[in-house]
Structure 1
Amino acid sequence: MQVIETLAEGLKREIKVVVPAKDMEQRMNERLAEAKDKVRINGFRPGKVPMSHLKKVYGKSVMAELVNEIIREKPSAILSERGEKSATQPEVTMTEDEAEADKILNAEADFEFTLSYEVIPPIELKPVSGIKVVREVVDIEEGEVEDQIRKIGESARSYETKKGKAAEGDRVTMDYVGKVDGVAFDGGTDTDAELVLGSNRFIPGFEDQLVGVKAGDEKVITVTFPEDYPAKNLAGKEATFDITVKEVAAPGEITLDDELAKKLGIESLDRLREIVRGQIESQFGSVTRQKVKRQILDQLDEMYKFETPTRLVEAEFDNIWRQINTDLAQSGKTFEDEDTTEEKARDEYRTLAERRVRLGLVLSEIGEKAGVGVTEEEMQRALYAQLQQFPGQEKQILDFFRKTPGASASLRAPIFEEKVVDHLLGEIDVTDKKVTKEELLADDEAEGAEKPAKKAAPKKKAAAKADDAAEGEEAAPKKKAAPKKKAAEGDAE
């Protein structure tokens, strides 16, 4: 077999591989000889089939198997011999001419194919002792825990029917039909809908007009959907809602005691406090870690400058660009709404893709040199987490990871990256700094890992996201989308 380098330009490589016809024929003969005693052909006793007849019957199929084996096995062996790592799966090209292919399968012509790939550039690791980060730490006050428990307790709050008018904090049970220009619209109708006045779950102006209603009242209220409402057919439109009030109920008192904890399935109030404190610490800890990780990545980005494999960058850019366009479509916005243009956004996100690829290669090299690995148990936990996100689709997800080449890498990569960050935290200079909750959650775009592209993305402020996480889930389940505020508001990305 001949291996001839035909292109070495930057990171790009092209290799021509030639397997002589006589070598292919020899391997075919060996394969047929092994099968001679096993095949059964009418008119011949077992083991007595002439080799010429075997070639005539099975020669081409055996040669096809050999071609497939070579294509499957040789690229990695060739790269290993050359001491190279391909950034992506090498692209294999060979003749598509039927006449030429037939000659190869008949051992009348050499089997030739070409490998095209980009190498991962050599990375000379630099000392990380000069990296300095500040780890912001928040002390969780008792008041924070008690406030959170009180909010959680609202999910177990009882309501008692009242005869008077609905006031702030009361729960109104109603039927409603939403209309635009007198015509009911999809998603704008509900029966026995429950709404706590003051919860701000519905679009602005909706709840205010229910203050003062009584059971049995029928009322038409008028509201205007926000300009950025996700449903484009409703955004900015004036709508009316025909309301039939079925019940007004006053809230009962929330008492923070063991009984409240038991209603929530917890054995005692003290245990509930422990759980809530742990959740808050975990939520703040996640923000702290992300800020520390961002500082590490920013400094590594300054330390390493090298050419990145184009195919990896394009793949990463495609992932980012697909998500950005999905976000824009869901929000009903355009690039112009985000004070940019599509062309400028493409340039910014391509820069981001290059940064991600470069840092990914650096972290990979650091992890490899440090002996960082991902265990089978960690992979199983990650897979289980995926299954939990999509109840009812477990079989499809398992099949996807079983049958899709490289799918498991999407589980391994984030685990590996976090373990490399853990390794770095043991090597670099880390200074702890006590901060307030507000300081920790402050949105500092200048430190953002995706700072080149901030303007283009229709994303919420980080502080809002972190506040949502710290405050826990909404106590009441959300109703239909029509009269609510925009769906993305207050949700984590």
Structure 2
Amino acid sequence: MQVSVDKISDLERKMTVQVPAEDVDSQVEERLKSMVPRTKVHGFRPGKVPMRVVRQMYGKQVREEVLGELIQSSFVETVQKEQLRPAGGPRVERSQDAPGEAFEYSATFEVYPEIELTPLEELEVKRVSAEINDADVDRVVENMRRQRTRWEPAERPAEEGDRVALSFEGRMDGEIFPGGSADDYPLILGSGQMIPGFESGLTGTSTGDQPTLDLTFPDDYTNQELAGKAVQFAVEIKGVSTPILPDLDDTFFTSFGVEEGGKDEFLDSVKQNMMRELEQATRGRVKGDLFDRLVEANPVAVPQGLIEEEIDRMIEQMQERTGVKAKSGLPRDLFTEQAQRRVALSLLVGELVKASELKPDAERVRQMVESHASGYENPEEVINWFYSNREQLSSVEMAVLEDQVVDWVLERTKVVDEQIPFEEMMKQPGSAPVEEAPA
């Protein structure tokens, strides 16, 4: 067998393999002979079917099986011998496979990049922290009250904070534009759901009013066909409701699972939950900043095949999360940049795991499993399910190992501490309110 491996690019290799005809033919012949005792043909006794008949019946199929196995075994053997690390399966092309001739094929594939990590001592990571004060607790309690808001009809003009039921029709240059109309649409004035001027233009209106709003879409509006365009909305107010927040009483406390202890116990429960969320958010922020610094300091060439696999996962996760299966498929380029970053980060974390020689800590794995299970009616049953499901337990172990890597890296980098308000800590880093509009 003759083998050559050529470097096409930094990450792409082409393996060319040639197997002598006699090696292929001998394997085919041997396999056909082994089939004779099992072959049944009308007119012949069992085990007495002539070889030429067996070859005529199964020769082509057996040859394909032999060639397939030769491709697999020779590829694996060469990869091991050359100490290559394929990133995904090969693209195989047969250049010569006629009977009686040497069998030749090529396998093109990507390999994992060689990564040399920047010394961790050169990294500077920001470690943010926050404290919970009474104002933070009051703000959370107020949000909890808003979750239990009930709406009552208002016999007065609409004010900011009221909910109006309306129908509207949007026109641009006199023509109705797609997405610019709705019926029985509930809108809370001051929520910022609509484009500038829409909600403020409805303040002071009453049930039955039919105001006309002359507005302009923002220049940076996401739909470029509407960005910066003047439009007119014909609106009909069908109802105005005012919010009624619940009192802080035993009924309210019970609705959040606090059945004894009154207001003091409720506030203590709220604060304890805030502390748990703060701990998770703090760790998430630190981990996020650390990963950002790692990616910036260690540019990695990423195999395209791994990026495509990650895009597939991201699309599948999004569809599972939203419950929407796009018929025509989502544009893959929407996910490319994030997928490339995820793969690069995964490769870097893998290198750090090797450098640190860390293994998942069994106690931390147990704690994470128990934390997942605590939200269920029968936690012990959920815990047993995790430990009896190797795939699910592996995902927990990988999460724990990632946390251990973060701790290990932080011990070796320059850490800059910064305190920020609790409210800012609980916002997703880099997120911004999404401006919605009737379009």
Q: Scaled by the length of structure 2, what TM-score is found?
A: 0.70
1:425 aligns with 2:386: no
- Following the alignment from structure 1 to structure 2, what is the Cα–Cα distance between the partners of residues 197 and 122? 56
Q: Match of 2:146?
A: 154
Q: Match of 1:437?
A: 421
Please give the secondary structure, in 1, of the residue aligned with 2:152. strand
Please give the secondary structure, in 2, of the residue aligned with 1:367. helix
Please give the secondary structure, in 2, of the residue aligned with 1:239. strand
Change in 2 beyond 3 A, CA 1:246/1:120: closer
- Following the alignment from structure 2 to structure 1, what is the Cα–Cα distance between the partners of residues 191 and 48? 87
Q: Match of 2:353?
A: 367
1:285 to 268, 275, 283: 283
Q: Match of 2:223?
A: 231
Structure 2 letter corresponding to 1:279:
E
Structure 2 letter corresponding to 1:419:
L
Change in 2 beyond 3 A, CA 1:25/1:280: same
Please give the secondary structure, in 2, of the residue aligned with 1:222. strand
Q: Match of 2:49?
A: 49
RMSD: 4.4
The CA deviation at 1:421 is: 5.7
1:3-402 to 2 correspondence within 5 Å?
3-5=3-5, 13-95=13-95, 101=97, 103-104=98-99, 108-117=100-109, 119-120=111-112, 133-263=125-255, 266-267=257-258, 269-270=266-267, 271-299=269-297, 301=298, 312=303, 316=307, 360-368=346-354, 370=357, 372=359
- Following the alignment from structure 1 to structure 2, what is the Cα–Cα distance between the partners of residues 126 and 225? 47
Percent pairwise identity = 26
Please give the secondary structure, in 2, of the residue aligned with 1:218. coil
Please give the secondary structure, in 1, of the residue aligned with 2:71. helix
Do the aligned residues in 2 keep the contact of 1:123 with 1:365 (CA within 8 Å)? yes
- Following the alignment from structure 2 to structure 1, what is the Cα–Cα distance between the partners of residues 279 and 231? 43
Structure 1 letter corresponding to 2:285:
V
- Following the alignment from structure 1 to structure 2, what is the Cα–Cα distance between the partners of residues 355 and 233? 31
The CA deviation at 1:60 is: 1.7
Across the two proteins, how many residue pairs are aligned to each other?
A: 380
Do the aligned residues in 2 keep the contact of 1:225 with 1:235 (CA within 8 Å)? yes
The CA deviation at 1:79 is: 0.8
Structure 1 letter corresponding to 2:277:
Q
Structure 1 letter corresponding to 2:419:
V
Please give the secondary structure, in 1, of the residue aligned with 2:215. strand
- Following the alignment from structure 1 to structure 2, what is the Cα–Cα distance between the partners of residues 135 and 319? 29
Do the aligned residues in 1 keep the contact of 2:153 with 2:241 (CA within 8 Å)? yes
Do the aligned residues in 2 keep the contact of 1:187 with 1:482 (CA within 8 Å)? no
Offset from partner CA, 1:397-445 (integer Å, 9 cap, x none): xxxxxxxxxxx9xxx99985883462252353365735113897699xx
Change in 2 beyond 3 A, CA 1:313/1:483: closer
Change in 2 beyond 3 A, CA 1:218/1:139: same
Which structure 2 residue ranges, 5 or more long, are not aligned? 260-265, 315-332, 373-390
Q: Match of 1:483?
A: 438
Change in 2 beyond 3 A, CA 1:220/1:232: same
Change in 2 beyond 3 A, CA 1:110/1:417: farther
Which structure 1 residue ranges, 5 or more long, are not aligned? 324-345, 386-407, 444-460, 469-473, 485-493
- Following the alignment from structure 1 to structure 2, what is the Cα–Cα distance between the partners of residues 261 and 283? 26
Please give the secondary structure, in 1, of the residue aligned with 2:66. helix
Q: Match of 1:455?
A: none
- Following the alignment from structure 1 to structure 2, what is the Cα–Cα distance between the partners of residues 60 and 314? 33
Q: Match of 1:388?
A: none
- Following the alignment from structure 1 to structure 2, what is the Cα–Cα distance between the partners of residues 233 and 354? 30
- Following the alignment from structure 2 to structure 1, what is the Cα–Cα distance between the partners of residues 224 and 6? 54
Do the aligned residues in 1 keep the contact of 2:158 with 2:240 (CA within 8 Å)? yes
The CA deviation at 1:196 is: 2.0
Change in 2 beyond 3 A, CA 1:366/1:44: farther
Please give the secondary structure, in 1, of the residue aligned with 2:181. strand
The CA deviation at 1:197 is: 1.8
- Following the alignment from structure 2 to structure 1, what is the Cα–Cα distance between the partners of residues 236 and 340? 57
Structure 2 letter corresponding to 1:242:
A
Change in 2 beyond 3 A, CA 1:237/1:417: same
The CA deviation at 1:357 is: 6.7
The CA deviation at 1:125 is: 7.1
- Following the alignment from structure 1 to structure 2, what is the Cα–Cα distance between the partners of residues 222 and 363? 54
Do the aligned residues in 1 keep the contact of 2:349 with 2:405 (CA within 8 Å)? no
Do the aligned residues in 2 keep the contact of 1:136 with 1:440 (CA within 8 Å)? no
1:448-487 to 2 correspondence within 5 Å?
462-465=429-432, 482-483=437-438
Please give the secondary structure, in 2, of the residue aligned with 1:30. helix
- Following the alignment from structure 1 to structure 2, what is the Cα–Cα distance between the partners of residues 189 and 25? 72
- Following the alignment from structure 1 to structure 2, what is the Cα–Cα distance between the partners of residues 362 and 221? 54
Please give the secondary structure, in 2, of the residue aligned with 1:36. helix
The CA deviation at 1:49 is: 0.9
Please give the secondary structure, in 2, of the residue aligned with 1:426. helix
Do the aligned residues in 1 keep the contact of 2:212 with 2:235 (CA within 8 Å)? yes
- Following the alignment from structure 1 to structure 2, what is the Cα–Cα distance between the partners of residues 233 and 128? 48
Offset from partner CA, 1:246-265 (integer Å, 9 cap, x none): 222222245344433545x5
- Following the alignment from structure 1 to structure 2, what is the Cα–Cα distance between the partners of residues 356 and 186? 36
